[in-house]
Amino acid sequence: CMHTLSRRIAIVLQHEEQRCQYLSRQAKLMLAIQDEVASMSDSDGSQSPFHHILPKCKLATDLKKAYDSLCTTGVMRLHINNWLEVSFCLPHKIHQIGSHYIPPNAIERSLKAIRPYHALLLLDDEKVLLTQLPVDCSPALVRVIKTSSATKNIQQLAQDADLALLQVFQLAAHLVYWGKAIIIYPLCENNFYMLSPDANISTYSPLADQFAQQFPGNDILTVLSKFSLPTSLSQFKNPLAPPMQERAVMR
């Protein structure tokens, strides 16, 4: 993975070097600061040039941020010379079950196993996810994000987004690979659902605050308690309730 990232950064740096000598200018700046620190070290002891280079060298700062981001989240977005973007993710870092990471080969197998009857579940809010996309991203990806629903299978998603099924497969796999979505079976009234034993049910969980903001007047622990035993969604339907209230409950 790191070889792939290094190659991508090298290609962008080569482009910027040919366009405006960006790499040469940054390298000269680093060497000048290093020589300055070396002369200071002769008089007052050894000093590391690293902390002197960071505030003054944009390339050094960007590379450090990229490294830190990969170590913490497994995802990085880097704009070389405030222009060309390099995006990268470590799939084994962002895909995990509990404290266990999923190996890359298992992720590849799961992406190949996506079928038309599966559904795409976004892990981020639609608006948040759209703001994270590159400016030059595929319009088809935007349509998939806006059209996707946990109750809609991928074949129906392709029809609603007016895209070829194969293209939706590729875009869904892209979102899953980047940790922005997961593949599930479409939510159905007749299916039975049960709370995972690994679910975070702490009263002070950040999820509780997010749930309260998205669904005012509802408590996430109260809702989750209804799924302590296998429960179908049809049990929450009230045929006498107004349609708007029924949609709110199912949402």
What's 180's DSSP letter?
S
- What does the mean pLDDT of the chain come to? 87
Q: What is the pLDDT of residues 136-168, one digit of tens each?
A: 889 999 999 999 999 999 999 999 999 999 999
**CA separation for the pair 17, 176 (Å, rounded):** 34
Over the stretch 214-251, which tens digit does the pLDDT of each residue have?
888 888 888 888 888 898 888 877 766 666 665 665 55
pLDDT at 212 over 70: yes
pLDDT of residue 200: 77
Q: What is the pLDDT of residue 95?
A: 82
pTM (two decimals): 0.78
Return the higher-pLDDT residue of 213 and 145.
Answer: 145
Structure tokens at 200: 């975070």
Query: What's the pLDDT score for residue 245?
Result: 60
139-147 vs 154-161: helix crossing angle, rounded to 10: 120
Q: What is the arithmetic mean of pLDDT over 124-130?
A: 90
pLDDT computed for residue 248 by the predictor:
62
Taking the CB of residue 36, how many other CB atoms lie within 10 A of it? 12
The SS3 assignment for 201 reads coil
Structure letter (DSSP) for residue 153 = B
Burial category of 142 from C-beta neighbours within 10 Å (exposed 0-12, middle 13-18, buried 19 and up): middle
Can you tell me whether residue 241 is helix, strand or coil? coil
| Angle (CA) 177 179 182, round 5° | 85
Looking at residue 96, its pLDDT comes to 75
Question: What digits encode the pLDDT tens for the residues 22-69?
Answer: 999 999 999 999 888 888 766 555 677 888 899 999 999 999 999 999
Q: Which residues contact 222 (CB under 8 A, 6 or more apart)?
A: none
Q: Domain extents for the chain?
A: 2-89, 102-184, 192-250
Identify whether the C-beta of residue 148 lies closer than 8 Å to the C-beta of residue 157. yes
Residue 170 has phi, psi (to 5 degrees) of -65, -40
CA 97, CA 94: separation in Å to the nearest integer? 10
| Residue pLDDT, tens place only, 170-208 | 999 999 999 899 999 998 888 899 988 888 777 777 888
Residues linked to residue 88 through DSSP beta bridges, in sequence order? 76
Q: How many CA atoms lie within 13 A of 183 on its CB side?
A: 23
| 187 closest CA partner among 112, 111, 250 | 250
